[in-house]
Amino acid sequence: MSARSRLAEWAVLVAFVVLTLGVGFTASALTLPSIPTWYAALDKPSWTPPNALFGPVWTTLYILMAVAAWRVWVVGGGWLPLTIWGAQLALNFAWSLLFFHLHRIDLALANIVALWLAIVATIVTFARIDRPAAWMLVPYLLWVSYATALNASIWSRNG
């Protein structure tokens, strides 16, 4: 592989990281105003994580998502797996919009179930192309599983 090809691969990695962190940053901008007000007033279960945990966890997950997508791109996995990956990223963003910005816990719950399914679909399609890329998404699936249970609990407690 030529130095130019390697440079192009690294540029695409940077683009994936910028894209995913950009989605996360934008979602965070929609989220932050509601945390000390609306979110703080919600009845939440005792197993709700502290607010300070969300930033580091999501940053790590977004970077893993970006690297996983990049690995699939490098292998030449085609448009389908990266389209599914893009769909889950859009659903991820939509959840923050629905839950924190619009305060629609019910719609956020429906969205996060769709997100969970999209992550599973992404993992399955990535596994056919690059197993390490698929494994990089497992922590994301676990976190979203936990978030789904938390969203459902908050919805049941707050109507």
pLDDT, one tens digit per residue, over 91-134 is 999 999 999 999 999 999 999 999 999 999 999 999 999 999 99
Calpha distance 107→2 (Å, rounded) = 49
DSSP state string for 71-89: HHHHHT--HHHHHHHHHHH
pLDDT of residue 3: 74
pLDDT classification of 7: cutoffs 50, 70, 90 = confident
pLDDT of residue 27: 96
Instruction: Select from 21, 138, 122, 120 the least CA-distant residue to 69.
Output: 122
Measured CA distances, 90 to 19, 48, 114 (Å): 11, 24, 11
pLDDT of residue 100: 97
The string over 53-91, giving b where at least 16 C-beta atoms fall within 10 Å of a residue's C-beta and e elsewhere, is eeeeebeebbbbbbbbbbbbbeeebeeebbebbebbbeb
Q: State the DSSP code for 2.
A: -
pLDDT of residue 105: 98
Residue 159 clears pLDDT 90, i.e. is over it: no
How large is the angle between the packed helices 79-96 and 105-129, nearest 10 degrees? Answer: 160
Helix (H) or strand (E) holding 145: helix 138-158
Domains of the chain in start order, with CATH, are: 3-158 (1.20.1260.100)
Range 63-80 average pLDDT: 96
- Min mean pLDDT across 11-15, 74-78, 92-96 is at 74-78
Residue 2 clears pLDDT 80, i.e. is over it: no
For 2, other C-beta atoms within 10 Å of its C-beta total 7
Instruction: Select from 11, 25, 12, 24 the least CA-distant residue to 140.
Output: 24
Instruction: Select from 124, 123, 125, 100 the least CA-distant residue to 112.
Output: 100
Q: State the DSSP code for 119.
A: H
pLDDT in tens, 51-68: 999 999 999 999 999 999
